[in-house]
Amino acid sequence: MGNLIKVLGKDLENCPHFFLDFESNDGEQGRASASHGSKGQERTAIQNPGDLRLQERAWSAVCPLVAKLKRFYEFSLRLENALRSLLEALTSPPYAPTQHLEREQALAKQFAEILHFTLSFDELKMTNPAIQNDFSYYRRTISRNRINNLQLDAESEVNNEMANRMSLFYAEATPMLKTLSNATTKFVSENKTLPIEDTTDCLSTMACVCRVMLETPEYRSRFTNTETLLFCMRVMVGVIILYDHVHPVGAFAKTSKIDMKGCIKVLKDQPSTSTEGLLNALRYTTRHLNDDTTSKQIRALLQ
């Protein structure tokens, strides 16, 4: 269905005008489906510790959910490795970020898919507190079993060591985004011969392209799927957050290559039901928003 990226015009305000064809039919846009909890059965069991029937019912309800949480945790490790490989491909010399986006079109889309999934997953996680309640019940149960020298079948899949690692992961407000932020920071620190600008320019170019696509009617009219609008917004917010984590002064400073006012305005122009989670991600998961270098105007926009 055509190239992923088509050059549509000349630079405007130092921002390349591209149309990223996120709808090209080479795979569905990534979807996240987090666990919705055990419907309070673990709470009932905790309140009635002597009722063996309730304990068994809660355990049976929680175990499949914990197994699913384990798969998401393991997937986050795969995403971490994939992101670092993508960053390496999209920042390697001798090409500039814009040239990479043109040449490695499939990789650019995979990068976008990862960011879309990440923001989607974390939004679901934040709106489902039962996830952590269920996992806490699971950990307490296996700890009690260890004291009593008991081992249930489910423990062979998620043992105590794995449960501890998963606990640290799900304790984060936005665990997938934290994983990607750490991976990006690690990529920059480990590749000392690669100028940091190569990485930040890649991220700022992606943010800029998404913003232009969202605010330009000519480009937005090319979206044939209503989900693509949200997809594009999630990608934009994702690269802004990664940029803010690795750039020395962050995304909100005047010297930033990302037009934060424009990006925030694009989000605020959409219905709040679809963008409040993304605005919260900018408010609470970035590093430099509260720095002195952030203008009062940008802070006011995110109030």
**pTM for the predicted model, two decimal places:** 0.80
Structure tokens at 60: 């049976």
Q: What is the pLDDT of residues 276-289, one digit of tens each?
A: 999 999 999 999 99
Q: How confident is the model at residue 49 (pLDDT cuts 50, 70, 90)?
A: low
Contact status, residue 244 vs residue 287, Cβ threshold 8 Å: yes
Contact status, residue 249 vs residue 126, Cβ threshold 8 Å: no
Structure tokens at 94: 């001798």
What is the pLDDT, as a whole number, of residue 272?
A: 81
- If you search the block for the tokens 């750039």, which residue do you land on? 247
Q: What is the pLDDT of residues 71-81, one digit of tens each?
A: 999 999 999 99
Stretch among 55-59, 119-123, 185-189 having the lowest mean pLDDT = 55-59
Q: Is the pLDDT score of 2 beyond 50?
A: no
Question: For the chain, how far is it from start to end, CA to CA, in angstroms?
Answer: 41
With residue 284 as reference, give the H or E element that holds it: helix 272-284
